[in-house]
Amino acid sequence: MVGLSRYSEYFAWLQPGAFPERQPLRLEASPGVSQTAREECVAGMERLFGKGVWAADAPVTVALARDAALPAEGYALCFDAQARRLSVRGNGNGLLYGVFALLRALATGVPLAQVAAQSAPAVPRRVIDHWDRPDGSIERGYAGRSIFFRNGALAYDAARIRDYARLLASVGVNVLNVNNVNVDAAGARLLGPEALPDLRRLADLLRPYGIRLALSVRFDSPVLLGELPTADPLDPRVAGWWRERTERVYAAVPDLDGYLIKADSEFQSGPAALGRTQADGANLLARALAPHGGIVYWRCFVYNCEQDWRDASVDRPMAAYDEFMPLDGLFEPNVILQVKNGPSDFQVREPNSPLLGAMERTPQALEVQITQEYTGQQIDLYNLAVQWEEVFAFPAGEGEALRGLMGGKIRAMAGVANVGDDENWTGHTLAQLNLYAFGRMAWDPGLTAQAVTGEWVRQTFGADPALAGPLTGLLLESRAVYEKYSTPLGLGWMVNVSHHYGPSPEGYEYTRWGTYHRANRDAVGVDRTGAGTGFARQYGAALAARFEDPATCPEELLLFFHRLPYGHRLQNGKTLLQYLYDAHFEGAAEAEGFVGRWDALRPLLPEAAYASVRARLLRQAGNAREWRDVVNTYFYRLTGVADEKGRKIYA
Amino acid sequence: MVGLSRYSEYFAWLQPGAFPERQPLRLEASPGVSQTAREECVAGMERLFGKGVWAADAPVTVALARDAALPAEGYALCFDAQARRLSVRGNGNGLLYGVFALLRALATGVPLAQVAAQSAPAVPRRVIDHWDRPDGSIERGYAGRSIFFRNGALAYDAARIRDYARLLASVGVNVLNVNNVNVDAAGARLLGPEALPDLRRLADLLRPYGIRLALSVRFDSPVLLGELPTADPLDPRVAGWWRERTERVYAAVPDLDGYLIKADSEFQSGPAALGRTQADGANLLARALAPHGGIVYWRCFVYNCEQDWRDASVDRPMAAYDEFMPLDGLFEPNVILQVKNGPSDFQVREPNSPLLGAMERTPQALEVQITQEYTGQQIDLYNLAVQWEEVFAFPAGEGEALRGLMGGKIRAMAGVANVGDDENWTGHTLAQLNLYAFGRMAWDPGLTAQAVTGEWVRQTFGADPALAGPLTGLLLESRAVYEKYSTPLGLGWMVNVSHHYGPSPEGYEYTRWGTYHRANRDAVGVDRTGAGTGFARQYGAALAARFEDPATCPEELLLFFHRLPYGHRLQNGKTLLQYLYDAHFEGAAEAEGFVGRWDALRPLLPEAAYASVRARLLRQAGNAREWRDVVNTYFYRLTGVADEKGRKIYA
């Protein structure tokens, strides 16, 4: 198994190892094999087996070859026992992915002679979206400052970017959007002539790893950059402006993937403000990008963020569907509508967006958050693979799971990065798992959280079952634990406003953000059935019917879809209130239990990882206690009903 | 009456006028009359009556003279009808105050021949505390950036500072503390050698107006400035450090008033953190200042700002009394303990601090906030003179009103400035009144709000009764209106956390700030009687008894001292809940009514003031509506009880 003496949090899941079954190898590379694929194979084997692994006269050969017959970006691994030859074939970047698949197999304990796999990505675009700002700060970043930007411009340690590209390529990410989707003035200037040499250099750095650059743009750039009096998408000057700018960008970065844009959303400019449709806006950019093969990722996170809380008829989760469904068929073919997994906003628990897969003639991207904005901010442990598995399993369209649409109606998967310049990339060392899982599951949405978590644990900390088993188990539970103390029964938005960490039961109740639970002394939740806001009707009839009946609505979404009295009986006979109390007591106890469970693994863990993770687990335990007491007290004050089990609830 | 054609918001209450009863005057100044007193007399008369007012052969004389027989800083004004001679005498700075008293009398419509007054300040120190930071920002500032600081250092428009000093001197302020009491690193460096020339220049600018400079200092300065390993007040090196620093400061500013310090409070360093008492800390600075006649203003705003909300036994308003009463008699004579008017924190409604006047052997300063932190942020109208009149009338010690201690146990009055670099100084033009009233009432705590408000209105906008009457009335009501929608029955802290503007009923409930109302479905408020936290017992027995009985507790403080069920009947038979509803409906309606009442005065108002104030009144009306609906909904959700009058409360 992997010897961990050279463990560093920086290496993430590409740790140096020392396998006992080490055997000499010789490398063979066919013509056309990229230098990167070759180098990564050499370095990767040396990482696992030591520098002496390569020998010209070794009896076993690792043979790299391009194979255009494989699916796009696909690879095949096969060990020919007679020839004593491990063949790694790939189509295009698929060869590099094949090398990493081989290294992954070996690192997770597959003997060389048993390696055999064939795979291709489910979706052609697997995108990591950085919300990094030119000033070096990161919106919703919990792992330090940007690794890309400093002092208003692209400025980075090239070696670190190469290491990052390696990590991304090792899990199949092939697009990197470098700047925050809330584009500030400095971000807008990335389209300007002075930034082009920097963009070119960055793209050159990423390209060997099969990663294409993308940019977030602002809809009002023609005005903001001072060149036009309007950003109206129907104004020919505006179309010309985007065409010219885009030509210049592609002259610097010929393989730019395209533009990402958050328009008419949370104070970002957009076509609606000018009396035009979202399609008008998206097509404007699409036409500028089309000659270069570029894509517009047009975000569907459009809603009224200045809602009056008094108006219960407006229901924010309905906004994207209402806005975009009528436009189906009106978009240029190189527009991809980017839809957040949930209709609300990256919550711990929400149904899938009804817009996902609902459009017949418009390709979509599924957007998830790898960074833990609402999910513990890389202080609390939260395994997003568990959540994503559920997202993929959620029904879409005619009863099909969303998973089945990946590569069909859904052409891309985008994840908001959780990476900063912290030594361990992700603040919480165990949050590296989320970055890993994003790439793996975007490539193969059929992977279970169990499989992905196990893979990551074994690569990162070694395959000793005494460690890998318990740690995988702990990680798999982490989402449920966090859910218990933050979002039981789908009751969300009890979080502190703005920064979104820790409890504030009424924090959002009277704000303009459209996010309310409207708890009173008798009941809690929003009625989203046909008798209420009607949100449930945005799903297909069968699914809507299931959600609309509290008896058939999945329990974990009960208070997302329903407003219910505290005495409402759940399927196990427990009252709703008691469930809320129990969930908070259990969640806090389980979070506290993580510390002891982690401590028990200490002998098997590298000390650096043990210590840094332990410090976070202690903070999590405190946070969970706070959630428990604040939310329980809140409901106790509202209801006057004590805990059935007599546990302490503060007055 | 005053012609307002030359009105400017910048002139505040020293507006140019054009009096019909203008008559030629000649000036006579005895030896020893300061140049400033003479110049302000000349310029002030010209401001009121025009440049041509002075004539060498005029029949009436204005005679300025020093008179050491008057009380310190006192003045006497007297018109001798026979000699046709208006005599203005003053002791020291009193002569300048006499000049401004004369100008005030004339501007408010007293005919020259009827001018007669004698006055001296109640307290020797009338201090304006600026919470300006060297970077130019202002903590709790609502009127732009600092007029003193820019880019980390003192940097100002000297003419503006002179204009400000004139405004302050015209109302009797004689100390100006220039930097924020939360002293940042740049603020701490004001004690360093590089800042001394700047301090000297500023003091030189203020001195002609009888204003002495003071500085906020940090307790850990010896460490922060990198010169000592400790700030322990009992360490001789620390005493030596302060002595030397202070000598150097006095070499630059020989009449420095002294140091203000916020120690062991809200993350500021202090002696308690080093295991020493507040007296140890205060005496350290006092001994350094004593040789120079300097004063330490030691703030008593010391409490646990990391309280656990679960612990209902800790009651923040009790902290200052508990901390400082046992230390009475242990302070050096040049220590003044600076006590906020209320025990909580500059709230709209709270009782006076029980510490005020309670110490037998320690002089105190009464600290109030002129800047409207909790009181509308210079968006909502709030006449602080009304509140201060109540503060002065509040019982202190043996049943005496606090007013009676001014100049006795209470040796100073300090106000946190509401001034920034906005053209009109105070953001809201009508908030100039609060600056004016602070100076006037610190000088004479016997002045009523009615008198001060009337004075200010007539000087600022002219003495036309059709304007002055209604406007004075509106201003006098403004505090009650704001109180209705923000703090009825003394129920405070339903405000947004941190910035303190607008409603958030549970904003502070689960924080660490020690500020809770603990509302539940049955009752609201904190029991501060002997049966509860015992806070009421910090007052004298008679007062405590009055507060402890809900039947005798002043209604406006009912929920400050008591926890009561919503059905509790007030003296007029109304339930507590209905009172809360009514107060919010009335307050919002009255705030909205301000707009119409202001509009009705438009013909009598300078257009600039009309427009700028109107914009704020509209914002206030919106804020009041938000308070009304949020707080009413909050209590409706808690109680399920509708408004008796059937008005709209949102669910």
Q: What span, in angstroms and rounded, lies between the C-alpha atoms of A245 and A248?
A: 5
For residues B409 and B460, membership in a common domain is answered with: no
Question: Smallest Cβ distance to A638: which of B309, B521, B636?
Answer: B521
For residues A647 and A595, membership in a common domain is answered with: yes
Domain assignment of residue B501, yes or no: yes
Give the pLDDT confidence of A355-395 residue by residue, as tens digits.
999 999 999 999 999 999 999 999 999 999 999 999 999 99
Rounded to 5°, angle at Cα A61 from A56 and A62 = 115
Is the CB of residue A485 less than 8 Å from the CB of residue A587? Answer: yes
* A637 at interface of B, judged by CB pairs closer than 8 A: yes
pLDDT at A19 over 70: no
Q: A518 and B637: CB-CB below 8 Å?
A: yes
Q: What span, in angstroms and rounded, lies between the C-alpha atoms of A121 and A119?
A: 7
As to burial, measured by CB atoms within 10 angstroms (0-12 exposed, 13-18 middle, 19+ buried), residue A572 is: exposed
Size of interface A-B (CB pairs under 8 A): 57
Active site residue A373: yes
For residue A185, what is the domain's CATH number? 3.20.20.80
| Average pLDDT for A199-227 | 97
> B132, B315, B373, B527: which one is catalytic?
B373
The domain boundary, picked from B119, B150, B180, lies at B119
Domain assignment of residue A534, yes or no: no
| Average pLDDT for A442-459 | 97
* B629 at interface of A, judged by CB pairs closer than 8 A: yes
Give the pLDDT confidence of A323-353 residue by residue, as tens digits.
999 999 999 999 999 999 999 999 999 999 9
pLDDT at A399 over 80: no
For residues B434 and B504, membership in a common domain is answered with: no
Nearest-by-CA chain A residue for B519: A637
For B462-604, where are the alpha helices, taking DSSP H only? 465-486, 541-548, 558-561, 576-600
The pLDDT, as a whole number, for residue A412 is 98
Give the pLDDT confidence of B168-204 residue by residue, as tens digits.
999 999 999 999 999 999 999 999 999 999 999 999 9
For residues A428 and A467, membership in a common domain is answered with: no
As to burial, measured by CB atoms within 10 angstroms (0-12 exposed, 13-18 middle, 19+ buried), residue A227 is: middle
Mean pLDDT of chain A: 96
Residue of B506, B627, B639 to mutate, testing the A interface (most A Cβ within 10 Å of its Cβ): B506
The domain boundary, picked from B119, B145, B168, lies at B119
Give the pLDDT confidence of A455-480 residue by residue, as tens digits.
999 999 998 999 999 999 999 999 99
For residues A440 and A454, membership in a common domain is answered with: no
Give the pLDDT confidence of A73-94 residue by residue, as tens digits.
999 999 999 999 999 999 999 9
The pLDDT, as a whole number, for residue B226 is 84
For residues A422 and A490, membership in a common domain is answered with: no
Is the CB of residue A418 less than 8 Å from the CB of residue A130? Answer: no
Measured between beta carbons, the chain A residues lying within 8 angstroms of B637 are: 518-521, 638
Measured between beta carbons, the chain A residues lying within 8 angstroms of B640 are: 520-522
For residues A620 and A513, membership in a common domain is answered with: yes
3-state secondary structure of B351: coil
Domain assignment of residue A8, yes or no: yes
Tokens standing for A409? Answer: 């109606």
The pLDDT, as a whole number, for residue A4 is 45
Domain assignment of residue A539, yes or no: no
Question: Smallest Cβ distance to A640: which of B505, B522, B651?
Answer: B522
The set of residues, in sequence order, having a beta carbon less than 8 Å from that of A122 and lying 6+ positions away, is A406, A407, A442, A443, A444, A445, A446
Q: What percent of chain B has pLDDT over 90?
A: 95
Active site residue A266: yes
| Average pLDDT for A265-293 | 96
Residue B586: half-sphere exposure toward Cβ, Cα within 13 Å: 15
Residue A626 to chain B, least CA–CA distance (Å) = 9
For residue A45, what is the domain's CATH number? 3.30.379.10
Nearest to B10, CA basis, from B124, B167, B154: B167
Decide the pairing of beta strands B410-416 and B395-396.
unpaired
Q: What span, in angstroms and rounded, lies between the C-alpha atoms of A442 and B285?
A: 65
Does an H or E element contain A162, and which? helix A158-170
For residues B112 and B173, membership in a common domain is answered with: no
CB count in 10 Å sphere of residue A418:
29
pLDDT band at A103 (very low <50, low <70, confident <90, very high): very high
The pLDDT, as a whole number, for residue A20 is 58
Measured between beta carbons, the chain A residues lying within 8 angstroms of B630 are: 510
Nearest to A447, CA basis, from A398, A406, A397: A406
Nearest to A378, CA basis, from A129, A616, A139: A616
Domain assignment of residue B534, yes or no: no
Active site residue A235: no
Q: Give me the DSSP letters along A255-313.
A: T--EEEE--SSTT---SGGGT--HHHHHHHHHHHHGGGT-EEEEE-----TT--TT-TT
For residues B442 and B453, membership in a common domain is answered with: no
Residue-number span of the structural domain to which A58 is assigned: 4-119
Q: What span, in angstroms and rounded, lies between the C-alpha atoms of B430 and B472?
A: 11
3-state secondary structure B587-642: HHHHHHHHHHHHHHCHHHCCHHHHHHHHHHHHHHHHHHHHHHHHHHHHHHHHHCCC
Residue B521 φ then ψ, to 5°: -65, -15
How far CA B526 is from CA of B489, B492, B515, B522, in Å, comes to 12, 11, 10, 13
Domain assignment of residue B18, yes or no: yes
Q: What span, in angstroms and rounded, lies between the C-alpha atoms of B492 and B503?
A: 10
The pLDDT, as a whole number, for residue A51 is 87
Q: What span, in angstroms and rounded, lies between the C-alpha atoms of A171 and A649?
A: 46
Measured between beta carbons, the chain B residues lying within 8 angstroms of A520 are: 636-638, 640, 651
Domain assignment of residue A640, yes or no: yes
For residues B395 and B505, membership in a common domain is answered with: no
Measured between beta carbons, the chain B residues lying within 8 angstroms of A524 are: none
CB count in 10 Å sphere of residue A400:
12
ipTM: 0.92
Measured between beta carbons, the chain B residues lying within 8 angstroms of A521 are: 521, 637-640
The domain boundary, picked from A402, A431, A447, lies at A447
For residues B484 and B422, membership in a common domain is answered with: no
For residue B511, what is the domain's CATH number? 3.90.1330.10
The pLDDT, as a whole number, for residue B2 is 39
Q: B520 and A640: CB-CB below 8 Å?
A: yes
Domain assignment of residue A20, yes or no: yes
Residue B514 to chain A, least CA–CA distance (Å) = 15
The pLDDT, as a whole number, for residue B105 is 95
For residues A332 and A372, membership in a common domain is answered with: yes
| Average pLDDT for A265-283 | 95
If one counts the domains in chain A, the total is 3
Low-confidence ranges of chain B (pLDDT < 70): 1-5, 18-21, 398-399
